[in-house]
């Protein structure tokens, strides 16, 4: 048996779809169902909340970054061992990039591809019957994307619910949820999005509050009845990122957290052993490991902790002398000479690459990336094409004298120049790798 699934979509970020998604996931899990969360696009924070709410690992499904065969394999895997899959849209339901049909990165691609219904979450604050015009636009915009029901969010009163809900039901869309305005249901955010699940104090208590909201304000039985089977075409993991080694030393603590679930899961499935260690606890990669991976994370946790971690710093220098090390985004910054914080204070990093980075002047760097490797590294062999995503506010202060790692393009193939650096066994990039192109 395969899982039944539904997509939670909205007109934009901030509509409340994450709270609705987590509330549904947690409520169904409390009923004893095996329920899994999925996220369209490259978000690496929401899957952590999905995992905490359900006890099953979340997954990203990205129609731009993942070749169709890999996308189908991951979707099939997500459905194989679950009763129900709730797939949360990134940003607005139809938001992606200009790309060939079905490869835009939007949740609408997944709705078309798998024939999944959409539960539309509408923030109706500041409007009433106009919400029906928005819902009708969603229902008619794309014939291949079916709106199955609506959840009204941030209602001010019972009269507000009646005005907006009756207008929506008059155009033929069922209203299966009505949530009163309640700021206590909001999850805290920072510049990269939600504060991560692992950082959240009293996480399970908040997840249960969201589940209580879902039980009270949503018709969960009706929502489950709207779902349809998730039955993707056959796929394979041939384009998944292969394990960079047999035993992978993976930095894992409050400063190093951004690892896509499907990447680590595939490494494990392919027979690699992941050996976590904590740089902030001044731990070293284990000597038995044959590669070290520094993922992205929150820079606030890096600056002083890394500078003071003398055992970690010395061990990384020894490791780099004979074995590969790769860093992504925050991990890439740590591999450099220095990191300037938002106050303008400079902190020494590992110095295994020659660049220096800064948060003193924030500048958003955001978007899909396609990289052609100029040399072999833990991401793959020379010439390998990698698809991924970049999202950070740091800037390069000094480039250093290391060799570039890759030739970079944006999601539409526009050249962005050389990217990342390599020196000896050490390599790093600002972008997060998702799959082979």
Measured CA distances, 305 to 129, 314, 393, 410 (Å): 53, 14, 20, 33
Tell me which residue has tokens 């384009």: 239
Q: Tell the burial category of 238 from Cβ atoms under 10 Å away from its Cβ (0-12, 13-18, 19+).
A: exposed
Measured CA distances, 402 to 220, 292, 369, 389, 393 (Å): 56, 19, 21, 23, 22
Give the residue from 31, 191, 17 showing the smallest Cα distance to 121.
Answer: 17
> Which region, left, alpha or beta, applies to residue 126 given φ > 0 means left and ψ of -120 to 50 means alpha?
left
Longest CA pairwise span in the chain (Å): 69
Q: Which residues of 111-146 are buried (b: 16+ CB within 10 A; e: fewer)?
A: bbbbebbbbbbbbbeeebeebbebbbebbeeeeebb
Taking each helix axis as running N to C, give the angle between helix 203-217 and helix 46-54, from 0 to 180 degrees, rounded to the nearest 10. 80
DSSP labels, 201-240: TTHHHHHHHHHHHHHHHB-HHHHHHH-EE--PPP--STTS
Contact 348, 409 (CB under 8 A): no
Residue 410 forms beta bridges with which residues? 369
The answer to whether residue 329 is catalytic is: yes
Residue 328 forms beta bridges with which residues? 429
In angstroms, rounded to a whole number, what is the distance separating the alpha carbons of residues 294 and 292? 7
Beta-carbon-side half-sphere exposure of residue 372 (alpha carbons within 13 Å)? 9
Indicate which residue of 289, 292, 329, 377 is catalytic.
Answer: 329
Locate all alpha helices (DSSP H) within 115-257, ordered by sequence.
130-141, 158-170, 203-217, 220-226
The set of catalytic residues is: 329
């Amino acid at each position: 048996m395969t899982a039944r699934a539904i997509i939670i979509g909205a007109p934009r970020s901030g509509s409340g779809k994450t709270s609705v998604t987590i509330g549904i996931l947690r409520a169904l899990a409390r009923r004893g169902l095996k329920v899994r969360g999925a996220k369209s696009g490259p978000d690496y924070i929401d899957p952590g909340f999905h995992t905490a709410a359900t006890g099953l690992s979340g997954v990203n499904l990205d129609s731009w970054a993942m070749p169709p065969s890999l996308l189908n394999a991951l979707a099939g895997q997500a459905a194989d061992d679950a009763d129900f899959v709730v797939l949360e849209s990134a940003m607005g339901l139809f938001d992606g990039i200009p790309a060939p049909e079905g490869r835009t990165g939007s949740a609408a691609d997944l709705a078309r591809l798998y024939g999944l219904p959409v539960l539309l979450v509408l923030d109706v604050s500041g409007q009433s019957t106009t919400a029906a015009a928005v819902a009708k636009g969603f229902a008619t915009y794309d014939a291949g994307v079916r709106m199955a029901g609506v959840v009204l969010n941030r209602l001010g009163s019972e009269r507000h619910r009646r005005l907006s809900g009756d207008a929506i039901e008059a155009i033929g869309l069922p209203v299966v949820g009505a949530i009163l305005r309640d700021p206590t249901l909001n999850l805290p955010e920072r510049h990269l999005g939600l504060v991560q699940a692992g950082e959240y104090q009293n996480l399970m208590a908040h997840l249960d509050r969201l589940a209580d909201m879902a039980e009270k304000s949503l018709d969960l039985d009706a929502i489950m009845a709207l779902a349809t089977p998730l039955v993707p075409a056959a796929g394979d993991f041939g384009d998944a990122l292969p394990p960079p080694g047999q035993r992978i030393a993976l930095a894992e603590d409050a400063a190093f957290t951004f690892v896509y679930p499907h990447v680590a899961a595939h490494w494990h499935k392919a027979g690699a052993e992941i050996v976590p260690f904590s740089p902030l606890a001044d731990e070293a990669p284990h000597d038995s490991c044959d590669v070290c991976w520094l993922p992205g994370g929150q820079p606030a946790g890096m600056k002083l902790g890394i500078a003071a971690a003398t055992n970690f710093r010395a061990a990384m220098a020894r490791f780099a002398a004979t074995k590969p090390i790769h860093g992504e985004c925050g991990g890439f910054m740590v591999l450099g000479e220095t990191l300037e914080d938002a106050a303008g204070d400079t902190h020494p990093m590992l110095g295994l690459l020659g660049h220096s980075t800064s948060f003193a002047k924030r500048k958003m760097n955001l978007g899909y990336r396609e990289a052609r490797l100029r040399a072999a590294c833990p991401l793959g062999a020379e010439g390998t094409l990698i698809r991924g995503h970049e999202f950070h506010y740091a800037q390069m202060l000094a480039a250093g004298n290391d060799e570039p790692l890759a030739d970079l393009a944006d999601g539409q193939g526009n050249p962005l120049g050389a990217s990342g650096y390599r020196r000896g066994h050490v390599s790093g990039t600002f972008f997060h790798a998702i799959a082979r192109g």
